[in-house]
Each structure stands twice: as structure tokens, then as C-alpha cells.
Structure 1
Amino acid sequence: MPADGPQPVERHLPTEEARDLLGLTRDIAAREIRPRTAEEEDAGRFPREVFTTIGAAGLLGLPYPAEYGGGEQPYEVYLQVLEELAAIRLTVGLGVSVHTLACHALAEFGTKEQRAEHLDAMLGGELLGAYCLSEPSAGSDAASLRTRATRDGDHWVIEGTKAWITHGGVADFYTVLARTGADGPRGITAFLVPGDAEGLSAAAPERKMGLKGSPTAQVHFDGVRVPDTRRVGEEGQGFSIALSALDSGRLGIAACATGVAQGALDEALRFLAERRQFGRPLVDFQGLRFMLADMATAIEAGRALYLAAARLRDAGQPFGKQAAMAKLLCTDTAMKVTTDAVQLMGGYGYTADFPAERYMREAKVLQIVEGTNQIQRMVIARHIAGPESRD
């Protein structure tokens, strides 16, 4: 192992601008994120100012058009930025992914006037977003959501509760999917709701086993009025808008999971190189080296899969199957690699004095969010075997 520790992941980036962007990301992560991570995660503190910093650096709007303040970068590049951030602190990497997901509806389906009015602040770091799809009784079955928006003149009145909302209570805007018509997927519409809207409130954050710095909360809509100018897309188009965002969101989770796994591997490498047993560094023992080789191989396979899916997306080709595969493989890999990292470090890996146990706790949630891995298997099976029979 090199004397100066684990080496940065070798990237094959399409442009010099992209290489500079990754360098900037690593610099911000080293200066602004890493020194505060352990203390803030233990305290459950959300690093809002970090999002302001990375927004000012142009990292909150990377895949969106420059015309509206975005970075106009391919998804291939954006996802590698997410991976770098998540390798240091998942609260930040996942937060950027969720914010990007929250911007998707307006960026892709909003009118020219809506994009001109809102997107610049959303992509430039002034505003932080949240995505409101799941509900207490509608998780994997999102088409059964009950939050309702009722037209009142040139406004809509939203009533209901959303659940498991990342940035719930701290977001400046919420992309909300609400029922405006009959039951089922065709009766759902998307809205852009300001975080300070009257009648909008958040419950106390959930007490989670990991990601303690990232608030996850129920969000309540008690007669929240929004003008029709904040309706995104056509009435009844909301479910298709949501699905179009989720394929891209799954790639974001895949990249974050790869970052968590890489961070855990790097931590294990540092420990094994420094700790000596039986007169030599632990990293010299063949059994441990084989575990490291398996971990590195699995991480690289996941990275190759999410990048291949991203390149399909960038080329305008279908990528839903590959996105589900990437989310499945990368998050399962993160769970395995982080568990192995704790094992390699023995008792030290189980203590909060080292970040390996935090990586392990964080990896679990990535198998659940943006569609559980059981749902990903259903999606993949439908792509390769067709829809299930309905007798």
C-alpha cells in the first residue's frame, strides 16, 4: 500500500472542465466537509451552510442547463461528483441527490416562465429542495397516495401528509405530488410549494440508525394554498413526472452507495496499513488482502454499471432497466463492503472512534430509499420477462 494512504479513485472524465470539477469537489470535501462530519453526525446537526457553499461552487445544478443557472454537465460527471461527496459524508451526497430530484419536475416539465422565475435560485444554492411523494400509507405503492389538492379559483388547496421526506422541515421548497382526480396514477398532479407556505409544517425528525445529520420527517399540508402558476405540468401528469424523475434518482443513490463503499474501503486500508500484529502490518496478511480485493472489485463493478447507465441517459436512450440494476447492485455492494470494513478493523471498527461503523449504518438506508431493492428486482424482471400475468 502506498505510504501516503489510499489513493483517489482514478476517473476517466470526458473533458478538462469535468476534471477540474472533480478537483474542486475533492477540495471542498477535504476543507469544508470532512473536518466536521463526525461531530455533526453524532450531534444530528444538518450542515445547511455546506449546501450554500457547494451551491455557490456550482455543484447543486450540475445536470441542468446553463440557461437557468445549471452546470450543463452530463450525468456521467454529475454522478461522480455525488460519489465523491458521499464518500466523505452521505448527508451531503444524498442531500445533493435529493435536491436534484426536487428540481427535476420544474426543469423538465415546467413552462418557460416558471423556469425563468424559479430555477436560478434553485440551482444556485440559494434554495434547498425536498421531494414529496411517499406517504404513511403509500410507499412502494406511490400511485395510491392520498394527499389531495382541490382547485379553488386560480389556486389549489393541499391537504394531507407526506412521509420519509429528506430535508423535511429545512427545505426552502417542496416538489409535491398530490391527487387532483380519481384514484390511481392518472389522478395525480405535481406542485412547487414554498417552504414557508402557510399551513405547511414538519413533524419532529425521525430517529434513524444512520444519516443522523440529514433530517427525515413527515410534512403536513393543512389547507396550503398555492397558485395555479405553481402547478408543474398538466393536471393528471404528476405520476409520469414522478416516474421520470425516479429513474435518474436511482442513479443518484447508486453513486452515493458507491461513495459510501469506497469511503469504507479507504478507511479499512488506512487501519490495516497502520496496525501491526505478529510483527508486521495487518495489510500484509493474505486472508485480509483477499477480502480487500473482493471489496475493491465489487465497488468497481458497481461504478462501471452506474456510469454505463448514465451514458445511456446522456445519449437520450432508455436507461430504466440499467438504473434499477445499478441501484440494486451498488447498494447491496455498499452493505457488504461496509460490513466487511468493520470486520477487518475488529473491535475498533465497531466503535464510534472510527467512521467504519457510521458507513455501515448509512449503507442500510440506501437499500430502502428511491424504491426498495425488492422493488428494483420487480422493475428489472418486468424489463427482461415482461409484466406479470393478471388472471
Structure 2
Amino acid sequence: MSNLSFVAPTRNSPWGTYLSQIDAVEPYLGHLARWVETLRRPKRALIVDVPIELDNGTIAHYEGYRVQHSLTRGPGKGGVRYHPDVTLEEVMALSAWMTIKNAAVNLPYGGAKGGIRLDPKVLSKKELERVTRRYTSEIGIIIGPQQDIPAPDVNTNGQIMAWMMDTYSMNVGATATGVVTGKPIALGGSLGRVQATGRGVFVIGREAMRRLGISMEGARIAVQGFGNVGSIAAKLFAAAGAQIVAVQDHTGTILNERGFDMQNLLDHVAQTGGVAGFSGGDRIANEDFWKVKSDVLIPAALEGQINKERAEGLQTRLVLEGANGPTTPDGDAVLADRGIVVVPDVIANSGGVTVSYFEWVQDFSSFFWTEDEINVRLDKIITGAFKHIWDTSEHHKISLRTAAFVVACTRVLEAREERGLYP
């Protein structure tokens, strides 16, 4: 059977990376391997034109996407990103990783993802609202609380989700809080959701460090990406006794061998929009970030960051993938050869979708939990999922990434086999 579906991937492209991961897991699927081709093909991909009137009166057109990779285990679930580099292939890969992530954590969801190719920084708030509402109307034919549930991702937030929920609700004639997650608390959002992905990275990191014999006290942590995920993970690691020694974001890279004062750094980023210019650290070249000596490296920016060349120079013991797809297949192979443990994105950053699941459940029941309850439930679910993946890795003598895919793909394909094909 051909592996081509919708687009022809290159090896280190997002979709090519995902397909190589499916190739690696196939030998461990047993009789379920006869269904594996379903994992290589998105169930549905929607490309939409998003025309809006700009504030100056001109008409602008943007290209939007919503891809549903799999709906076998439940409604599609996955974020929407606004970025000038968004492509159909990228969204396909991200939707497929959501299938794996949801199944790895055993959430009752399939995988989906969305995006619009635009630079939100050049649009006014009103223009962002118009583009969000038009996009929501265009993809409204395939989303819904029981069909496909969007959430925030790169350059989207609670306000974007509020506009999406309102637009969908107006179009169906009833308030549908469960159509998106990551909403403001006043609209049915969940306590703890904003911090959930970063908290999940910390919880999984803590568990991996314990198993590898890395002491939290004084551990050297390097973080790439200092947005919602990276900054919260860094703050929690520092509070637990670790030292954040290097941080990189879109404004530059800073280093402090003794560890940053996290509150001062967070205040600086809140005031200036980035880590550049922070007086509590030295600026270094962006490429030198990958050579900083650390115990734990957290790539929490965009995909494809740790390639073969960077992997060869990394000086770390543990990579925690806070971002989606930050390690290329070539980079993965180098890290494996060097004995550097990689906790894959599908479990390392699963805290966000887990609390999104909590939000969805709370919206359906109209009964909301405290933040302490949220955090206890989150910790229990993702530590249990990580233990299962770690044990699978040791049993088969395979990487944590392949083990996560073995667990997830087995669950998806078992469901596919039980459901059968219709008609």
C-alpha cells in the first residue's frame, strides 16, 4: 500500500516525521498491523477561504484548515494555530499527533487540528475577531461538541475560543459551551487550563528524572520557548529546586550558569514581550543554546528544532518535548545512539489536552471542579499514562517515543477493528 495521502512528504517534514514514526511502530502491532494504513491517512481535511474586510476597508483572503485525522475513539480534539507558516501538511501531522496523544493518555477522543496562515501580530483586535468568526463559520460544518472540539494553540487564546464558541452557538441557535475548550472561566472554561500543558511537562519531567536518578535539587534546566508552556514549566521546575540556566525565545537567548531569578525573568517578559535584554543573564548566540550543558532540555517552541546537527552537540541527559514534533527522525536517531532519553511530545505535553477533557466534561455536566481537584486528577492520569509507556518501553527494549506509539496505535486500531468498516 502507498504511504502517500493528500501530500507527498519529505523525510523531515512534519507529515514525513509522523509517517516514519508509524513505520517504526508497525512491527509491534501484531494482528492489528492489517489496519495500520488507516493511521497513515487523515479521515478528513477541509481547506477553507477566509475573506474579511480589514479596518482600512480592503478585502483580505486567508487560507484556513481543519483536519480530522481519526474519529475512531471519539470526537476530534486539537488546537487551532494562527501563524504565517501554517500549511496543510503541518496541520495533518499535528492532527495525527493528537490522535496518538489522546490515545496514549487514554482520553475518549480522536485527533484533529486547525490553523489559518496569517500573522496575527499585524492584525487589529477587530480584524482578529472577524477572521476568527469567519473561519469558525467555514469549518462549522464539521465541528461540534460531539464531532470535533477545537482549542488554543500557537498564537490563539481564550479570547479566540470565546469568539469561536459564540459564532458556532449563534449559527446553531443555542449556546454550545462544549464546542471548544480553553475558554475563559466566565464562559465555561476550566480552572487550571492555562497552566495545564506546562504543569504536565513538569509532572512528566519529575517522573522521568526519578526513574533516571536525576536529582531535582540543583538540576540544570534549559528551556527553548518561553510562552505559556515553557514559562510555566520553568517556574514549576525552579519552585521544586531546579535551576533554569538557559532560555531561548523569539527575541533571543540568555544564559545564567547559577540559575535565573524566575520571578524577575517572568516580570521582564511580561513587560517587554521577550527574554532579550534581561539584566539577570548574559545574551548568547541562538545556536549556542543547543550547546549549553544541562540535565534536562525542554524544547517548547515549534516543530523540527532538534535536527541531526544539533542532536550531535547536545549536552543533556533528558529531553522533554514541550512542543509538538520538536525532534526530527534524524535527530531522534542521534539522541538514541548517544543515550540521551527523549520523553516524546505525545506524553510530555499531554497536560493541556487532559485538562481540556476535564473542561469538556464539566461543560456537559454544568458542574465545575476546584483547581486543586483539577491538578490532582491531572497528576493521576498523566503519571499513570507515563508509567504504562515506560513499562512498555522496557518490555520491548524500545524508545519511549516508539513505546508511546505502540500503546496509542494499539488502542486506536483495536477500536477500529471492533467498529469494523461501514458500509
TM-score, normalised to structure 1, is 0.30
TM-score, normalised to structure 2, is 0.28
